[in-house]
Amino acid sequence: MATPDELQATIDALVQKGKGVLAADESGPTIAKRFKTIGVESTEENRRAYRSLLLATPDLGRYISGVILYEETLNHRADDGEPLPQLAVRQGIVPGIKVDAGKIPLALAPGDEITQGLDGLAERLKGYKQQGARFAKWRAVYNVSDTLPSRAAIEANAEALARYAAVSQEQGMVPIVEPEVLIDGDHTLARCAEVTQAVLHEVFRALTRHRVAFEHMLLKPSMVVPGKANALQATPEEVASETIRVLRRAVPAAVPSINFLSGGQSPVEATANLDALNRQGLQPWQLSFSYGRALQEPALHAWCGRPANVRQAQEALLKRARLNGAASVGAYGADMENAGD
């Protein structure tokens, strides 16, 4: 049975000034899609080699406090035989685990999706904990249009997120609660703000109903941005002020840290937007990152599946980690992109 001390120790390790979380928990189909962009086949050995190189990056723990892994990675070993969760810990990085089982169409609600994976969750969490994981992640996604997401989708996904979070805390695992309002589509900044506020409001209503301790969870939301296909894109200052407005209305101050996903923003955009968020004045929560693509993309392209490129790939990852670390305290500048490492 979990103790509050156990959850608090994990929160203390994850929530550190100038640090954020690396999302390296791509599911089978998603990592195959990422590898395809560099012409690499998604074999188990290639996935092991890639994730080993990420975790073995020298000094990664200076900017990264936690890493979200996919189930198979818990069993993988680095080239020297060290289990990858242990390598993370040695770097000062807390290992976590994606526990949802992906999304399916929501029945009778065309265009909406629901995340599944609650059955047997407590048992699975026990196993993951034995393998070294100390926190968990569950992602809900919301498609945006004039009519989506439906009320039913907002309520069903909130309920699943809250049930997951309650089970996780009961098992002594800090839940990362990830409601992602998708960037796909041509919706406006204002429409994204409206949807994000409705989603977050319902998520916290459900978390309250399920007695989740806000102090012992992290929120991983999307930023408020216009749809990718909208001709009118937003400046980092606009993204920051709309995002802060929505968060202040919907997220209790007891939540220690908000770690954004990158959701299809380019690596530089994601860093600039996080920096602008941290320049909006003092907020009740830490504002940091839990990026997948925005941290990994340059490293993936530097690697291209070749052992000879491992060092270059690690340098590329460390650079994004360092710049996002700076952005998480509002100390990033565009000039840092080209400065020597």
Encoded tokens for 209: 């109903």
Question: CB-wise, 6 or 298, nearer to ligand 13P?
Answer: 298
Which position has the token pair 């994981």?
133
C-alpha distances (whole Å) from 71 to each of 10, 57, 74, 132 are 20, 21, 6, 12
Q: Sort strands 103-105 and 113-115 into parallel, antiparallel or unpaired.
A: antiparallel
Cα-flanking dihedrals φ and ψ of residue 171, to 5°?
A: -90, 5
Establish if 51 lies at the interface with ligand 13P (CB under 6 A): no
DSSP 9: H
Among 47, 51, 216, 293, binds ligand 13P (CB under 6 A): 293
Which position has the token pair 């940091």?
288
Count residues near ligand 13P (CB under 6 A).
Answer: 10
82 is catalytic: no
Encoded tokens for 93: 């990085």
Establish if 183 lies at the interface with ligand 13P (CB under 6 A): no
Establish if 181 lies at the interface with ligand 13P (CB under 6 A): no
Cis check: omega of the bond before 298, within 30 degrees of 0? no
Q: Which of 19, 137, 220, 319 is catalytic?
A: 220
**Residues in 249-268 at the binding interface with ligand 13P, rule: CB under 6 A:** 261-263
Q: How far is the CB of 262 from ligand 13P (least distance, A)?
A: 3
DSSP letters spanning 67-96: EEE-GGGGG-B-TTS-BHHHHHHHTT-EEE
Rounded-to-integer distance, Cα 236 and Cα 229, Å: 17
Q: Which of 178, 202, 242, 297 is catalytic?
A: 178
Span interacting with ligand 13P, options 153-161, 197-205, 248-256, 288-296, rule CB under 6 A: 288-296
Establish if 99 lies at the interface with ligand 13P (CB under 6 A): no
Q: How far is the CB of 340 from ligand 13P (least distance, A)?
A: 26
Q: How far is the CB of 81 from ligand 13P (least distance, A)?
A: 28
Question: CB-wise, 6 or 240, nearer to ligand 13P?
Answer: 240
Q: How far is the CB of 53 from ligand 13P (least distance, A)?
A: 18
Q: Give the residue closest to ligand 13P by C-beta.
A: 292
**Residues in 185-224 at the binding interface with ligand 13P, rule: CB under 6 A:** none
Q: How far is the CB of 292 from ligand 13P (least distance, A)?
A: 3
178 is catalytic: yes
Strands (E), the chain: 20-24, 64-69, 94-98, 103-105, 113-115, 135-142, 174-181, 218-219, 257-260, 286-291
Residue 191's Cβ-side half-sphere holds a number of Cα atoms within 13 Å equal to 20
Among 139, 216, 319, 320, binds ligand 13P (CB under 6 A): 139
Cβ–Cβ < 8 Å for 227, 185: yes
**Residues in 7-36 at the binding interface with ligand 13P, rule: CB under 6 A:** 23
Establish if 320 lies at the interface with ligand 13P (CB under 6 A): no
Listed residue (60, 255, 247) closest to 24, CA to CA: 60
Alpha-carbon torsion 263, 220, 288, 201, what sign? positive
Q: How far is the CB of 311 from ligand 13P (least distance, A)?
A: 24
Among 128, 291, 303, 332, binds ligand 13P (CB under 6 A): 291
Among 162, 294, 310, 327, binds ligand 13P (CB under 6 A): 294
Q: How far is the CB of 148 from ligand 13P (least distance, A)?
A: 19
Question: CB-wise, 242 or 297, nearer to ligand 13P?
Answer: 297
Cα-flanking dihedrals φ and ψ of residue 176, to 5°?
A: -95, 120
**Helix, strand or coil, per DSSP, at residue 39:** coil
Residues lying near ligand 13P in the complex (CB under 6 A) are found at: 23, 139, 178, 261-263, 291-294
Residue numbers annotated as active site? 178, 220
